[in-house]
Structure 1
Amino acid sequence: MTDATWKDWLLSDAPRSRGQARLAGLYQGWLKLSRNWMAMVGLGILVVLVMVAMFAPLLAPHDPFAQDLLLRLKPIGFEDHLLGTDSLGRDILSRLIYGSRITLYIVALVTLIAPVVGLLVGTVAGYLGGFVDATLMRITDVFLAFPRLVLALAFVAALGAGIENAVLAISLTAWPPYARMARAETLTIRNSDFIAAIRLQGAGPLRILVKHIWPLCLSSLIVRITLDMAGIILAAAGLGFLGLGAQPPSPEWGAMISEGRRFILDHWWVATLPGLAIFTVSLAFNLLGDGLRDVLDPKDGGSQ
């Protein structure tokens, strides 16, 4: 097919198959997202972040763990250290590049844990109702009653310092908003006519949840995940700053800020550059999340 034929096929008002309808929906969503230049800026930054993390060994000019006390606290642009060095003479650019891997690792693991737990809890509570709903929502309220970072600190203090424990702690504090959102979606869907028709056909609660309710919650879930990424990154950086996340000499951005705070007045770049990295990635996720909300969230006029 030519490009024009493909576009006509994707934009057809009368799709001939379910696959064509899904591809058409994705294409139309992409067209709407691509018209939002701020969302595209966020997407571009995240694509660059992923590429940097993937090719870190090729892009990093130095070993991020190599120390040279003769080169400690060198300024930006010093010889072949483009962004200077830290208090142990390690190349800051190389550590930022390798630190992107840790950031994506944390984001990926939390994304695999927290939304799934929240979706399970919320949809089960919303669909079954009654005692199950009341019990699960009261547990959710207990988690929501505490600030996320404070609760994460408590979990890490109990579990011990380390990046895996930090991921688990952040996940345990991140799932309640997803549960509340999934419950609200389920309460709206469960009494609809098509769910009643599915029940009459003999479908059980598990099949209804998995096949019919979960897919309808995905669009709101994706938007929420994208908008939550900034908070997850900041929580991970906060734990790293306090020495409860990734442990030295790991080039985690929060830990780099913690190491550089002692020199913030005379050698500002040591702490400022990882802070700018956190700010840039967090901003990128927020920009992309706003764009996805316009496309996916029907309450804001988007299309599913």
Structure 2
Amino acid sequence: MAGAPSLSQPSGWRAWLLSPEPGSRWQARLGRFYLGWRSFTRNPLAVMGLGVVVLLILVAIFADFIAPYSPVIGGDLRTQRLLPPSETYWFGTDDQARDIFSRVIYGSRITLWVIVLVALIATPIGLLVGTVAGYLGGWVDTVLMRITDIFLAFPRLILALAFVAALGPGIENAVIAIAITSWPPYARIARAETLTIRNSDFIAAVKLQGASTPRIILGHVVPLCLSSLIVRVTLDMAGIILTAAGLGFLGLGAQPPMPEWGAMVATGRNYLIDQWWVAAMPGLAIFVVSLGFNLLGDGLRDVLDPKAAK
């Protein structure tokens, strides 16, 4: 009997987290998080996607310690140029005798930087446009949604190319162009969610209490739209990576000698027959990271989408 408390400790914590009558908001939030995490871990592919994303973040943070060579300074062009993968150069070397493994490692920083900036710029724009259009309706909804339709009428890469051509090549302009072309789908989702909740009883109760329209939108409508938007943003990460890589491939994104994966693939296309590793290694990095975000997005959709709950 003396050992009973320690043996029942895990179940006790679970009982506390899953209590039908939580004693505080903090307990209720922890309980919801625990249920979501348990549901998430039942999907092995989603866990694998989360592992890929976490690995990307860790590699980007500790690139200085992981990469054995400089990503921009090459070796001897006479003896170290276009060497195949080996114990010395794990991914081989490129046409400037630079270690491809080191460039892929440092390229993860650029990729992660692009993803974070695009998400921080595009998500609030789409969320604000969608919630305002859905809540106010009328001519405001018509104008905002027609503007959204104009952006959706063009393929994302083509529209991004047009903006980069106007702004000029460079990684900063590429981020701006990708963000400008990424917000319309978020606006559509936020509007659809807002239309389903704007006539709810709790919204009517908030109005009776004298809450202003901006307070209702920002304090009550926006939080309810976040779960669906998080899923869509996560699923869009792969498209953002591919768009950034496409701009880099065309010479409109990151400029040499920055180790951007798309630009590295563009360099390696001249050596596909004999020195395949120059393009294959950064291409493999793009594939793995894009797949990881897709798998993570699928897992988050199963957890956060209330319509998918069984």
Shorter chain as denominator, the TM-score bin is over 0.9
Q: Tell me the percent identity.
A: 67
Cα shift at 1:16: 1.4
Match of 1:120 in 2: 128
Q: Does 1:213 align with 2:256?
A: no
Q: Distance in 2 between matches of 1:242 and 1:229?
A: 20
Q: Does 1:38 align with 2:45?
A: yes
- Aligned counterpart for 2:26 among listed residues 1, 14, 19: 19
Match of 1:295 in 2: 303
- Aligned counterpart for 1:160 among listed residues 147, 168, 171: 168
Q: Does 1:186 align with 2:200?
A: no
Q: Distance in 2 between matches of 1:155 and 1:67?
A: 33
Match of 1:198 in 2: 206
What whole-Å deviation, never above 9, does each CA across 1:225-248 have from its counterpart, x for those lacking one?
110000000000000000000000
Cα shift at 1:18: 1.5
Letter in 2 for 1:80: T
SS in 2 for 1:26: helix
Q: Structure 1: give runs of 5+ residues left out of the alignment.
A: none
Q: Structure 2: give runs of 5+ residues left out of the alignment.
A: 1-5
1:1-304 superposed matches below 5 A: 2-68=9-75, 69-70=77-78, 71-77=80-86, 79-301=87-309
Q: Distance in 1 between matches of 2:27 and 2:297?
A: 26
Q: Distance in 2 between matches of 1:244 and 1:299?
A: 41
Q: Distance in 2 between matches of 1:95 and 1:48?
A: 16
Cα shift at 1:299: 2.1
Q: Distance in 2 between matches of 1:212 and 1:201?
A: 13
Q: CA RMSD in A?
A: 1.1
Q: Distance in 2 between matches of 1:125 and 1:45?
A: 36
Cα shift at 1:5: 2.6
Q: Distance in 2 between matches of 1:10 and 1:211?
A: 27
SS in 2 for 1:93: helix
Letter in 1 for 2:83: K
What whole-Å deviation, never above 9, does each CA across 1:161-213 have from its counterpart, x for those lacking one?
11110000000000000000000000110011110111011111111111111
Q: How many residues align?
A: 301
Report the TM-score, using the length of structure 1 for normalisation: 0.97
Cα shift at 1:275: 0.5
